[in-house]
Amino acid sequence: MNLISGIDITTGALNAQKTRLDIVAQNIANTQTTRGPDGRAYQRRVVSFETQLMRQQQAAGQSLQSVKVAQITTDKTPGQRIYDPQHPDAGADGMVQMPNVNLAFEMVDLITASRAYEANLSVVKNARQMAMKTLEIGK
Amino acid sequence: MACPLHYSPCMVDPIFQSPNYQLASKLLDVSVLRQEAIASNIANSETPGYRRIDVAPDFATELRSRINAGDMTAATRLEARLTEDSNARSMRPDGNSVQIDSELLQMNRNMVEHDFLSEVISRNIKQLRLAITGRAG
């Protein structure tokens, strides 16, 4: 039996949320990047989650599921084009292709991810307290 | 558990066989199972289509009816299992039925329950120690 129950489920979730925070950081860092390694403007990355079967219940009950990052995709929506002829990446018409990062979206994502991370951390804390209490039985 | 033959006047076993002790240890297992379910729910609070799971509600009703029937061995033999919570309504377009605030509240409630039950079990063992040594602590 697992002493700190459910810890493997929460580990997956913490990892997934942390990846999401990393991606948000990357998106925010690249809000003004007009030239990436491929020579084009940065396109924001989107993280998608999928459940991961942890273990099947013996008595035909519901199984426990953790979560993991399924894939990191690029958001294909076109970014803004602004007129700035002085910009080194401006086209012949003086327009610059900007990244499609929207700071408001990213901030919302950031807050959601960090709240979810906190919630999972409190699950760990709780599980630990329960385990400690169990160890104190009879003392 | 039957008393081994070589301890003929078996005195220790009745303490561990008292209905309250056995029920408490059963419910302690259930609270650990519920903690796992809540961990799974919170982990998947943002997974589209995930439905929250919980200890099957028929466990409590079945347990109550077995206790009322006075059959303690049958009551302690009851196994809890996890099922999808069919009462949970999904308020979100992605079909996920987890509400993080209610999960956190249930987690806290479950921990208090766990504390209480482990205290009950602890007291049982302390009583035994008191009987053996003649002093508390």
For residue A38, pLDDT over 90 is answered with no
Q: Classify the phi-psi angles of B56: left when phi > 0, otherwise alpha if psi is within -120 to 50, otherwise beta.
A: beta
Higher pLDDT, B14 or A83: A83
Compute the Cα dihedral for A81, A84, A87, A91 and give only its sign.
Answer: positive
CB contact under 8 Å between A133 and B35, yes or no, is no
Q: Between vectors from CA B115 to CA B112 and to CA B119, what angle results, nearest 5°?
A: 140
pLDDT for the residue numbered A55: 64
Instruction: For residues B86-108, give the mean pLDDT.
Output: 87
Examine the pLDDT at B105 and tell me if it is beyond 90: yes
Q: What pLDDT shows up at residue B15? A: 67
Mean pLDDT, residues A88-113? 91
Q: Cβ separation of A134 and B118 shorter than 8 Å?
A: yes
**pLDDT, greater one: A128 or A5:** A128
**What is the complex's ipTM, to 2 decimals?**
0.79
Q: Which pLDDT does position B76 carry in this prediction? A: 79
Structure tokens at B66: 């077995």
Q: What is the 3-state secondary structure (H, E, C) of A26-93?
A: HHHHCCCCCCCCCCCCCCCEEEEEEEEEEECCCCCCCCEEEEEEEEEEECCCCCCEEECCCCCCCCCC
CA A26 to chain centre: 11
Query: What pLDDT score does B113 carry?
Result: 94
The minimal CB distance from A10 to the residues B33, B39, B111 is found for B39
Q: What Å distances lie between residue B24 and A11, B69, B112, CA to CA?
A: 29, 18, 14
Contact list, A134 vs chain B (CB under 8 Å): 28, 114, 118
How far apart, in Å, are the Cα atoms of B94 and each of A50, A116, B69? 13, 17, 44
Question: B106: which chain A residues are within 8 Å (Cβ-Cβ)?
Answer: none
Residues of A in contact with B53 (CB under 8 A): 62, 64
**What's the whole-number mean pLDDT along residues B31-41?**
91
pLDDT in tens, A45-74: 998 888 777 666 545 566 778 888 888 999
Could you give the percent of chain B with pLDDT greater than 90?
23
> How far apart are alpha carbons B32 and A22 in whole angstroms?
33
Confidence of residue A104 (pLDDT cuts 50, 70, 90): very high
Percent residues over pLDDT 70 in chain B: 88
DSSP B132: H
Residues of A in contact with B114 (CB under 8 A): 130, 133-134
Per the prediction, chain B carries an average pLDDT of: 83
Euclidean distance between CA atoms A70 and B12, whole angstroms? 54
Question: What is the three-class DSSP state of B98?
Answer: coil
Q: Out of A65, A116, A129, name the one closest to residue B40 (CB).
A: A65
DSSP-based three-state secondary structure for A51: strand
Least confident segment among A42-46, A77-81, B8-12, B101-105: B8-12
**At residue A137, what is the residue type?**
I
For residue A136, which of B29, B108, B34, B119 has the smallest C-alpha distance? Answer: B119
Q: What is the pLDDT of residue A60?
A: 52
In the structure, what pLDDT confidence band is assigned to residue A24 with cuts at 50, 70 and 90?
A: very high
Cβ contact B42–A134 (<8 Å)? no
Q: Which pLDDT does position B8 carry in this prediction?
A: 46
Name the residue among A120, A3, A60 with its Cα closest to residue B82.
A60
Q: So what's the pLDDT on residue A115?
A: 92
Binned at pLDDT 50, 70 and 90, residue B1 comes out as very low
